[in-house]
Amino acid sequence: MNTPSTALPESPLGSQATAPQAAAATRPLYWSVRRELWESRSITVAPLIVAGVVLVGFMLSAIGLPERRRALLALNPAHASATVEMPYDIAAAVLTLAAFLIGAFYCLDALHGERRDRSILFWKSMPVSDLTTVLSKASIPLAILPAYTFVLVIVTQVVMMLLTDALLLLSGDAASTWKLYPLFHNAFILLYGLVVHALWHAPVYGWLLLVSVWARRATFLWAVLPPLALMVVERIGFHTSYVATLLKYRLVGGMVEAFKAYDPHIAFGSLQADTLKFVASPGLWLGLAVAAALLFAAVRLRRYGEPI
């Protein structure tokens, strides 16, 4: 004799409660970021190539280094330290600039490429929301590239220091670069600067992602021409340059807000971080608000996006 089951059917509220748990278990954002790294090898390969070029240039400049180092140590310590730091600061600046350019071009193709190769149809069939997809792509220039650049700069600088000391030892000079270059202090300044760049350039990346999800072709032109057109119209019609000043402030103004008496020509070791000034800067929070709005618009447009 069969007895009636006492189990109650699952309620809609219960199924809704298990949905976030299932999403947390599968970690869609984590795997979406991993997918971006798998599919876009240039994110990791291009900075490595730039670091290799920097090391080759440094080795070429090391010809005659022992003689220059002995002459340098005869000068005052402050001038000697600034001169020793110069190639390491150049390496950090070149890799940071490369990370920004790589992130910018990645954003231009991130959402446009999936429409161009029609893979958007496949990814839309997967249980991954448009919000998760857009956030995973935004995390590449905002988090992954800065962290990767930091590690790569430190490794590059350590290799440069080892090569320098090996060359000095071979020439019979016992002077150590480790005593002249404040690696750990400059590593903190570098990490702080990379965080500043990521937060300050967030609206730039948001704009590029919006263009990527909207434009049918020529994403670079659609990203560059509107601000250029505004600059030209303003200059001709009103004889002012507020748009150009705003764009310049958004591209390079973050370092001015983040450091005391910032000067791009002085060594990293001489920079003094001013976190309170940066956090209190209206430009930071307005930029983050604009970035959030642009990412929201990109999510909405991707929801109705179709293959090109």
16-34 residue pLDDT tens: 444 455 455 578 889 889 9
* Beta strands 272-273 and 259-260, pairing class: antiparallel
Q: Is 199 exposed, middle or buried (0-12, 13-18, 19+ CB in 10 A)?
A: buried
Label residues 245-264 b or e (16+ Cβ within 10 Å = b). Answer: eebeebeebbbbbbbeebee
- Read off the amino acid at residue 125: S
Mean pLDDT of the chain: 84
Residue 249 has pLDDT above 90, yes or no: yes
Residue 275 has pLDDT above 70, yes or no: yes
pLDDT band, very low/low/confident/very high, at 75 (cuts 50, 70, 90): low
pLDDT band, very low/low/confident/very high, at 182 (cuts 50, 70, 90): confident
Extents of the domains making up the chain: 29-303
Q: What percent of the chain has pLDDT over 90?
A: 49
The per-residue pLDDT for 74 is: 63
User: What are the φ/ψ torsions at residue 260 (nearest 5 degrees)?
Assistant: -80, 130
Give the DSSP H/E element, type plus range, for residue 248.
helix 242-258
Rounded to whole angstroms, the Cα distance separating 151 from 236 reads 46
Rounded to an integer, the average pLDDT of 169-186 is: 71
Residue 283 has pLDDT above 70, yes or no: yes
